[in-house]
Amino acid sequence: MATTSHPAISARGKYEPVIGLEVHVQLLTASKMFCSCANRFGDAPNTNVCPVCLGLPGALPVLNSKGVEFAVLAAMALNCRINETSIFARKNYFYPDLPKGYQISQYDKPLAEFGHVNITVGGVTKKIGITRLHLEEDAGKSLHEGFPGASETTAVDLNRSGVPLIEIVSEPDLASPDEAYEYLTRLKEIILYTGVSDCNMEEGSLRCDANISVKPKGQKQFGTKTEVKNVNSFRFVREALEYEIERHIEVIESGGKITQESRLYNSAEGKTYGMRSKEQAHDYRYFPEPDLLPLVVDEKWQSQIRATLPELPEALRARLIADYGITAQDAAVLTISRSLADQFEAAAKAAKNPKRVANLVQSEILGRLKAKNLEIDHSPISMKGVAASADLMESGAISSKMLKDLYDLAFEQNKDFPTIYEEAGRPEQSRDTGALEKIIDEVIAANPKQLEQYRGGKKTVIAFFVGQVMKASKGQANPQMVNDLLAKKLDA
Ligand code: ADP
Ligand code: MG
Ligand code: ZN
């Protein structure tokens, strides 16, 4: 049977993808961007609305300064330069969930520019440029029910109308779907650390449009891009990009041309589809918003905001490595969320040996979490619990075998280590020298050849004896005690 190779697959090596991402992030302000309505997800439809966010004639927007502060904080965390003066602009388009017929956004004078995020893929660290970060308001939400073309009805919820957003536009610096995934992961992590958004993708607090083109390897000039709109998980962004890369190459290889358009990703099918062409030709007729003054964030305000900037993930990881002697891999796991990192640090400070705490997370916690399909911030054993168990091992009170058994119990019963340890009656590994001495005497008596080697000068044979004694004690003996007692008896 003849095998015909897929043209796109065989041609993949001839092309380079070029990717740029536009990310919208909802800010966690108490009220909306230009009115005092509550900014809250999940309320009954159309309950958080007023003349301003309903777009009623004559209603005037009033700027929410908390929204500005949050946007500036995010921009600073992303290494952007803040423009002291930025301009709000009207972006005009018609949509049923956009009652004013325009969205207040920023256009040629955005709040911030020239930022970057560092990503590491395959051991290589790369700086991804951020072109701009600007402030805008969200539109409402259309809810479709029933079957398109038949019984479909659409309802509009305007609770989201006027909610503050930042849009973060990257440079076309991303060269693969994996890099795009990593960029989104790092970006989200940084935003979460600043606390300006919960980045909850299910609730639409973080949304991504992915722009993609391909070009022959080595060519400077970019190819025509398509934009995959509103993808709601990082995994789907990666999949949609993979699909688009193959599709672009296939079109080009068969002599066709890519049309610049917006597309939607169907995650069930793993395919993208072009959106109706009417929606493609956008002319937003931007013009400066006449109802708002230019936004001025002067030096003084900037430095006040900068003072609230928390330690960011990259810096935190470097510091944890330096302060606690943990590895980069330890640090990566322990900084998955800021709260976990704080927990680790508090525990590590209190523990006798912080490195042991990190080691236990790697060797005893992660595997058990994986088996239960749990994230580390939902571990039954808290960082405090890990530290408590680490101290017990450090002092020789419990053996590693005992620790493992107690961890198993903790995961089975969903209880933290201190509780399990108490409930088990604060077990201790045997320190009863009488019983241990008896075992040691038996082991020595049973191994005359090794004894002879030892006494003949081959001191390393002690390791053999330690092993035998630990085995005979079923792992309950304290290794330090075994060592000390053995040495005494062998040298006698
Ligand atoms: P548009 O005006 O269509 O929104 P922009 O120039 O504002 O285009 O860019 C939007 C996003 O698309 C940015 O993230 C940018 O990096 C990315 N981008 C621009 N040109 C290309 C291209 N040829 N291929 C891939 N991504 C691109
Ligand atoms: Mg765009
Ligand atoms: Zn309102």
305 contacts: CB under 8 Å, gap ≥ 6: 69, 72, 73, 76, 297
Ligand 3: distance of its center to the CA of 140 in Å?
Answer: 11
In a domain? residue 1: no
Q: How far apart are the CA of 52 and the centre of ligand 3, in A? A: 5
CATH number of the domain within which 439 lies: 1.10.10.410
- Cβ of 273 closer than 6 Å to ligand 1, yes or no, is no
Please name which ligand lies nearest the alpha carbon of 160: 3
Taking all residues of the chain, what is their mean pLDDT, rounded to a whole number? 92
Residue nearest to atom 8 of ligand 1 (CA): 211
Confidence of residue 121 (pLDDT cuts 50, 70, 90): very high
Nearest protein CA to atom 13 of ligand 1, as residue = 20
Q: Please tell me whether residues 295 and 376 are part of one structural domain.
A: no
Backbone angles phi, psi at 39, to 5 degrees: -100, 90
- Looking at the fold, whether 398 and 453 belong to one and the same domain comes out as no
Task: Indicate if ligand 1 lies below 6 Å from the C-beta of 210.
Answer: no
**Does any ligand 1 atom lie closer than 6 A to the CB of residue 391?**
no
Strand locations in 5-123 (E): 15-26, 81-82, 85-86, 88-92, 102-106, 112-121
Ligand 3 centre to CA of 134 (Å) is 21
| pLDDT in the model for residue 362 | 86
Classify residue 43: in a domain, yes or no. yes
> What are the residues facing 214 on neighbouring strands?
17
Which atom in ligand 1 lies closest to the alpha carbon of residue 223? 23
What pLDDT score was predicted for residue 281? Answer: 56
Claim to verify: residue 218 and residue 71 sit in the same structural domain: yes
Q: How far apart are CA 48 and CA 318, in angstroms?
A: 44
Q: What amino acid is encoded at 172 in this protein?
A: P
127 bridge partner residues: 118
User: Which residue range is the domain that position 66 belongs to?
Assistant: 7-300
CA separation for the pair 139, 100 (Å, rounded): 10
Q: What is the domain count for the chain?
A: 3
Q: Which bound ligand lies closest to the C-alpha atom of 210?
A: 1
Rounded distance from Cα 22 to ligand 2 centre (Å): 7
**What residues have their beta carbon closer than 5 A to ion ligand 3?**
35, 37, 50, 52-53
C-alpha 306/C-alpha 300 separation (Å) is 10
The answer to whether residue 306 sits within a structural domain is no
Q: Check residue 11 and give its pLDDT.
A: 82
Q: Are residues 379 and 478 in the same domain?
A: no
- Indicate whether 268 pLDDT > 50: yes
User: Distance, CA 158 to ligand 3 centroid (Å)?
Assistant: 9
214 within ligand 1 shell (Cβ under 6 A): no
Decide which of 300, 324, 344 is a domain's last residue: 300
292 in ligand 1 pocket by Cβ < 6 Å?
no
Alpha-carbon distance of 271 to 273, in angstroms, equals: 7
Q: Which of residues 400, 423, 446 is at a domain's end?
A: 423
Q: Are residues 414 and 446 in the same domain?
A: no
Rounded to whole angstroms, the Cα distance separating 438 from 279 reads 86
> Is 308 a domain residue?
no
Q: Say if CB 469 and CB 439 are below 8 A apart.
A: yes
Task: Provide the strand spans (E) within 193-337.
Answer: 206-216, 226-231, 262-266, 271-274, 287-288, 295-296
User: Residue 236's Cα: distance from chain center in Å?
Assistant: 15
- Residue 40 burial by Cβ neighbours in a 10 Å radius (0-12, 13-18, 19+): middle
Are both 258 and 367 inside the same structural domain? no
Per-residue pLDDT of 292-322, as tens digits, reads: 999 999 999 999 999 999 999 999 999 999 9
Residue 2 covered by a domain: no
pLDDT given at position 238: 97
Answer yes or no: is the C-beta of 380 below 6 A from any ligand 1 atom.
no
Cβ distance 390 to 356 under 8 Å?
Answer: yes
Residue 465 lies in a domain: yes
Best residue among 91, 136, 170, 211 to mutate for probing ligand 1's pocket (most ligand atoms within 8 Å of CB) is 211
Ligand 1 touching residue 213 (CB < 6 A): yes
Using pLDDT thresholds of 50, 70 and 90, give the confidence band for residue 2: very low
pLDDT in tens, 13-37: 899 999 999 999 999 999 999 999 9
Q: Does residue 130 have its Cβ closer than 6 Å to ligand 1?
A: no
- Are both 296 and 323 inside the same structural domain? no
Q: Which residue has the higher pLDDT, 287 or 146?
A: 287
Same domain? For 294 and 329 the reply is: no
- Regarding the beta carbon of 169 and ligand 1, being less than 6 Å apart is answered yes
> Residue 469: inside a domain, yes or no?
yes
Cα of 129 from ligand 1 centre, angstroms: 13
Same domain, 161 and 271: yes
DSSP for 18-43, please give it: EEEEEEEEE---SB-SSS-SB--TTP
Q: Are 17 and 127 in contact (CB under 8 A)?
A: no
pTM, rounded to two decimals: 0.83
CA of 41 to the centre of ligand 2 (A): 26
Identify the three-state secondary structure at position 227. strand
* Residue 139 maps to a domain: yes
Regarding whether 450 and 369 lie in a shared domain, the answer is no
322, 280: one domain: no
346 and 467 co-located in one domain? no
CB of 205 shorter than 6 A to ligand 1: no
d(CA 344, CA 337): 11
Q: Final residue of a domain: which of 363, 395, 423?
A: 423
